[in-house]
Amino acid sequence: MNDAFIYGYAVEGDNFTDRENETKRLKANFEHGINTLLISNRRIGKTSLVRHVGRMVTPQKALVVYLDIFDCRSEYDFYNKLATAVLQQTSSKIDSILQNAKNFLSRVSPKISVGPDPTSEFSLSLGITPKEYAPDQILNLAENIAKKQKKRIVICIDEFQQIGEFPDSVSVQKRLRGAWQLQQNVSYCLFGSKKHLLTNIFQNKSMPFYQFGDAIYLGVISTEKWVPFICEKFKKRGLHISEDMASKICSEVDNYSSYVQQLAWLVMLHTEHNVTPEIIDVAVNELIAQNSALFMQQTEGLSSYQMNMLRAIAAGVHDGFLSQDVLDSYRLGTKSNVSRIKKVLIDRDLVELRETGLYISDPVFNKWFRRL
């Protein structure tokens, strides 16, 4: 077992823990052609989970195609990326890739350049221009390949919220959904890192992707699962951490996956033999300091009313913002101001609406903000 804690990018193998139930559900969706919408807060483990399941599904059951569209700025960028990923990841032989392109993308005339070694990566540029692009051909590429190869295909699209930023986004979404919902052999797993934007795409009745598939809300990993994971890594390094101290690491960061690993790593770096509460306190301070530049950036440009509402929430006020008492104590301005302030904070993913009111989304941001 690797004895370091990993944070900041998708994890696998020894660095991946739990998610048994979600793995089972997602794997069943992949194997049975059910579309999935995966939603969670930032850095909880969406990408890790999807990749984990993608590795578990055998090609006999389904071919899993994965693409990340964070850098796509328009519908054309998206089609280029989608077609490239589908061609590349549904076949390992360059001949059949070229054949698929020829058969199923006749109107797109893709340019494909192959490296000197035929087994090596090849680059593919579809060179679609707004004039000649053929969205229907590209959107049906996977379905056609699936039929030809008599295989099910699952297309996983990471950072899917990017679609919402495209020019004429709702028409694009309509076009995608229109084509995808007719496909018999291809299913989709759509997910991303901007919870608020994704929620708007998936849960707004007037949006094309409303109820497109099985919506999975990925929660945090339980303390029960984290504790043995943390203890094992310390043991592997010849150090000792008690179960109590391991669960304190989880509770300090509300079990947020990436922060649990980051904090555990900082604690490990300070430990000579045994973990003490004092070491955890020092590590929490470091965790806040390491993230403070990012938090400053996230609050940049907020008005004083918006900062005041964050202060109220951080101080434990979760609802009742329209009461005169709260308006006065936290200087939120007039009642009519309040809903606009809330919207800005929610749009920026700084706060989220839970059953009992508004909460700061990120537990370490919360700690940082309370210390300002």
| Binding footprint of ligand ATP on the chain (CB under 6 A) | 6-11, 16-19, 40, 42-48, 193, 257-258, 261
HSE of 349 in the Cβ direction (CA atoms, 13 Å)? 17
In the complex, minimum distance from the CB of residue 97 to ligand ATP, in angstroms, rounded to a whole number: 29
Q: d(Cα 202, Cα 190) in Å, to the nearest integer?
A: 10
Q: What share of the chain is helix, strand, coil (3-state, %, to 5)?
A: 50, 10, 35
Backbone angles phi, psi at 362, to 5 degrees: -105, 120
DSSP 45: S
Q: How many CB atoms lie within 10 A of CB 109?
A: 13
Question: What's the chain's Rg over C-alpha atoms?
Answer: 24
Q: Which is nearer to ligand ATP, 187 or 193 (CB)?
A: 193
Q: How many CB atoms lie within 10 A of CB 310?
A: 24
Q: Which is nearer to ligand ATP, 44 or 283 (CB)?
A: 44
Write down how long the chain is. 372
Contacts with Mg ion: how many residues (CB under 5 A)? 2
In the complex, minimum distance from the CB of residue 313 to ligand ATP, in angstroms, rounded to a whole number: 21
Q: Which does 217 bind (CB under 5 to 8 A by kind): ligand ATP, Mg ion, none?
A: none
| Residues with Cβ within 8 Å of residue 101, at least 6 apart in sequence | 87, 110, 112, 124
In the complex, minimum distance from the CB of residue 163 to Mg ion, in angstroms, rounded to a whole number: 15
Q: Which is nearer to ligand ATP, 8 or 301 (CB)?
A: 8
User: Which stretch of DSSP H or E encloses residue 360?
Assistant: strand 357-360
Q: Which does 90 bind (CB under 5 to 8 A by kind): ligand ATP, Mg ion, none?
A: none
Pairing verdict, β 111-114 and 122-125: antiparallel
Q: Which is nearer to ligand ATP, 19 or 152 (CB)?
A: 19
Q: Which is nearer to Mg ion, 29 or 47 (CB)?
A: 47
Kindly write out the interface string for residues 29-48 of this chain, putting x where it contacts Mg ion by CB under 5 A and - elsewhere. -----------------xx-
Q: Which is nearer to ligand ATP, 43 or 248 (CB)?
A: 43
Q: Which residue is nearest to ligand ATP (CB)?
A: 45
Q: Which does 367 bind (CB under 5 to 8 A by kind): ligand ATP, Mg ion, none?
A: none
Q: Which does 80 bind (CB under 5 to 8 A by kind): Mg ion, ligand ATP, none?
A: none
In the complex, minimum distance from the CB of residue 165 to ligand ATP, in angstroms, rounded to a whole number: 16
Strand partners, 64: 154
Strand partners, 191: 38
Footprint of Mg ion (CB under 5 A):
46-47
